[in-house]
Amino acid sequence: MNNSFYTESISNFLTEPENSILGTLTANSDFDVTRTQREAWIQQIRLLQPVLVGKEGHIYFEYIIPRLGKRIDVLIITGSVIYILEFKVGELEYSAHALDQAWDYALDLKNFHSTSHDVAICPVLVATNAEDQIIAPQFTKHDDKVLRPITTNAQGLKEFFDLVEFFIQEVPIDPNQWDEGRYSPTPTIVEAAKALYKGHSVESISRNDAGATNLTKTTGVVSEIIKSSKKHNRKSICFVTGVPGAGKTLVGLDVAHKHLDKDSDLYSVYLSGNGPLVAILREALARDRVASEKAKGNKLTKKDAHRNVSLFIQNVHHFRDDCLRDEKAPIEHVALFDEAQRAWNKHQTVDFMKRKKGQDDFDQSEPDFLISCLDRHDDWATIICLVGGGQEIHTGEGGIAEWVSCLNEKYPDWDIYISSKLTDTEYGAGEIIDTIKDQDNVALYDDLHLAVSMRSFRAEKVSALVKQVLDQDVSAAQSTLKEVNKTYPIVITRDIQKAKDWVKAQARGNERYGMIVSSQAERLRPHAIFVKATVDPIHWFLDEKDDVRSSYYLEDVATEFDIQGLELDWACVVWDGDYRYSDDGWKNKSFVGSKWQNIKKEERKEYQKNAYRVLLTRARQGMVIVVPEGDKNDPTRDPSIYDPTYEYLKNIGFEEIW
């Protein structure tokens, strides 16, 4: 893969004519080069050639970052430093947004490019016509050899290179060896969706080390099942399992994107009942498409962009309603249902259909009806169910047992492909799987399970740690925490303001942070946290630091319902009295009227445990857990409600911040 529009040794760059460099840049560009872009390149060439005299190394123009879907203006390797230059030609000011962008590029290389892990990286914003700045190279407290971004104008470039070279005197980087490095990113689901929609392969935007190889294997198995079903005119259903953050949604988006052509027999649709996830992905793709077209000099309205995106990602309930209105087979032969375990059981579905849709004679569960829709095809059809373990958080969610039960009772001719891990306890389908696993139409595949969490690229064992904490397996949690803490900080505190300060201090560039709480956390109002206030997930997840509605402001909070299937870089989890530690097990509470009441139904208790599982597995890089001190003058917030939980976390070994 060609990672840049122009790559050359510094010595050759210094002697190559300007027009020759421009010709290479233009020839390798994947967009129509505007006059503004051409003039920007000319300025960059003219500024860099004199200041790089006497230096050795390599220079790259428009270096591509697939995970971010963007390009570094200029990347230079000389001495023992990788320089990331973000140019703002003609600008009079140093934009905070541009500075964060340069920092993002540096962090992306540091985290995901193998030969950049252990070397110094210096991001710099060059606003050519801005005022002079004092250039003072310095590292951050993260101690990972990424310098704090530097700002300079055109006149300060020479001094900038000399000062950084003096500041960092280590073993020189071999540019040829650096070029051999593998780019193995772990994108957020929003980044992944945007990259796939732009045409990048799942391989180019995901890790490819031995621990994560089964992501590619899983997409391969799923694709083969679809092709085989079409070839042999069979109807099939496939259950893909995975730990939180392993890439189940990425598998679904990848398969759906490969078959976007409505005229193709393999036309597929990605479906999810997770309203916030669907809304956020659609909006992110639409915004990105509009921005991409604008960069090419084309005009595209967001309305038109949304119309195209809606063919790729749909709400499962809208798909269901279309099938209710039209009894013909849907246009899609392949449907990918994300979070299939959240489909409603028969009681919940029948009740909803009577109350909301006027369907008094409706008598099916949601899985039953969705299978029946694809079963209308005369030839073939495939359903891909993407399944998370311990993720049911809504009343009436039937789990995978509901799917298998109706397949066994009503659709005996369907081929069933099952992840070998679907019998594990967290999927709640072990008993019913045991009744069908020996049938001729059932096949078990190890490669249909995604075993490695890719959400946290810093620590794969976060999901295991959270499970141990919630299972009150103290000794196992203590052991796992020692491993996790090496690369993934988790701290605890009683002070919400200190927690906010901590996440802000950890985040660099545009790394996203936010405050998340349980939907039952109703006694956090004295801390200005009102869980019943509706948050707009699009603004919360996608808007930038200057928007008060964004997660960055740490004012609006998201609950498990808003954040399931999504992620933050850094999370501030506030733990209320709804889920309390005791030596006899967790105490499940719901705030009703003016007091806490016991939750007695086992189903609701499990939902509450799953809610905290969701909250505690959202952060990619680290988190702070806040357990308030309470107030002895308020019986609903007495310290005795909160202290045992904090002491439990402290006993496991989580570091305290004061």
**What number of residues does the chain have?**
658
The confidence score (pLDDT) of residue 396 equals 61
What is the topology classification, in CATH, of domain 462-656? Rossmann fold (3.40.50)
In a 13 Å sphere around the CA of 420, the CA atoms on its Cβ side amount to 6
> Do residues 373 and 330 lie in contact, with contact meaning Cβ atoms separated by under 8 Å?
yes
> Do residues 53 and 14 lie in contact, with contact meaning Cβ atoms separated by under 8 Å?
yes
Q: Where are the beta strands (DSSP E) in 68-220?
A: 70-78, 81-88, 120-127, 150-152
- The b-or-e profile of 570-593 (16+ CB within 10 A means b, else e) is bbbbbbbbbbbbeeeebbbbebee
The confidence score (pLDDT) of residue 88 equals 96
The confidence score (pLDDT) of residue 210 equals 42
Residue stretches of the chain with pLDDT short of 50: 1, 210-211
The confidence score (pLDDT) of residue 211 equals 44
The confidence score (pLDDT) of residue 452 equals 73
The confidence score (pLDDT) of residue 395 equals 61
CA angle 571, 574, 579 (to 5 degrees): 125
In the chain, ranges of CATH 3.40.50 domains:
196-450, 462-656
In angstroms, the CA 410 to CA 198 distance is 40
In angstroms, the CA 622 to CA 365 distance is 39
pTM: 0.86
Give the tokens for residue 613: 């599982």
Sheet containing strand 57-65, edge to edge, reads 6-9, 57-65, 70-78, 81-88, 120-127, 150-152
Q: Where are the beta strands (DSSP E) in 244-300?
A: 268-272
For domain 196-450, say whether CATH 3.40.50 is its number.
Answer: yes
